[in-house]
Amino acid sequence: TSGGLETRSPDKEYVGFATLPNQVHRKSVKKGFDFTLLVAGESGLGKSTLVNSLFLTDLHKDRKLLNAEERINQTVEITKHTVDIEEKGVKLKLTIVDTPGFGDAVNNTECWKPITDYIDQQFEQYFRDESGLNRKNIQDNRVHCCLYFIPPFGHGLRPVDVQFMKALMEKVNVVPLISKADCLTPGEMKKMKDRVREETDKYGLKVYQFPDCDSDEDEEFKQQDRELKWRTHHIAIL
């Protein structure tokens, strides 16, 4: 002590509110994270292939291939595949919600209804869990993001595409994705992407947009953010 004040050893770990971000980070990493991704689009657009490639795992190894008659009579279903992923010590409980049968029928009137019902049910369940007494071990099964696959052939968005995104855009982050871009030439791909972008604006569709950087972020992070926005420009390409 000197003059009644205690001197702190530089080797002693500092404990105080300044360490709060590190404490929250350690607690979150230890607990792990939940992420639910919904994939929607008609059969044959590469939904399963994309998911398996993104997360380096086969989530559909037990899937049964349907014959022509079964596909004709199939209605929209909700199937869930859950896998635990760990990368550099960070644990992620990944849930993929698939929608077989969506968009495959001749009459697709309100074929998105089972999907919106499922999303609403997960919100209601999470609200009930948060309102209960045991809030420490809540399983977050809310849908965080939807990848919506758009066929590469045609002239932009179909009525079912517009209605689907309108039904979900206030509930989930919707990312339109043009599938199988390797089937198109660069010129055709640009034309398709511009057409989809124009129609999302025309119909007032709220698709996911990357948030703007804070003004206090470093220049390197801002540059990465600008490059990512430029590459996607609201419409992803597969």
How buried is 113 (Cβ within 10 angstroms: 0-12 exposed, 13-18 middle, 19+ buried)? exposed
Regarding pTM above 0.95, the answer is no
pLDDT reported for residue 5: 47
Q: Classify residue 150: in a domain, yes or no.
A: yes
Q: Classify residue 18: in a domain, yes or no.
A: no
Counting the structural domains of the chain, the total is: 1
Identify whether the C-beta of residue 143 lies closer than 8 Å to the C-beta of residue 36: yes
Q: Classify residue 21: in a domain, yes or no.
A: no
pLDDT reported for residue 6: 47
By DSSP bridging, strand 33-40 and strand 79-87 are unpaired
Extract the residue ranges of the chain whose pLDDT is less than 50. Answer: 1-7, 233-235, 237-238
Q: Which domain holds residue 54?
A: 32-237
Q: Classify residue 172: in a domain, yes or no.
A: yes
pLDDT digits 0-9 by tens, 54-77: 887 777 666 666 665 656 556 688
CATH number at 77 reads 3.40.50.300
Q: Classify residue 166: in a domain, yes or no.
A: yes
CB neighbourhood size of 97 (10 A)? 21
Q: Classify residue 177: in a domain, yes or no.
A: yes
Q: Classify residue 124: in a domain, yes or no.
A: yes
> From start to end of the chain, where are the E strands?
33-40, 79-87, 90-98, 145-150, 173-178, 236-237
pLDDT reported for residue 140: 86
Q: Classify residue 24: in a domain, yes or no.
A: no
pLDDT digits 0-9 by tens, 113-128: 999 999 999 999 999 8
pLDDT reported for residue 219: 76
Give the residue from 134, 66, 124, 128 showing the smallest Cα distance to 100. 66
pLDDT reported for residue 162: 94
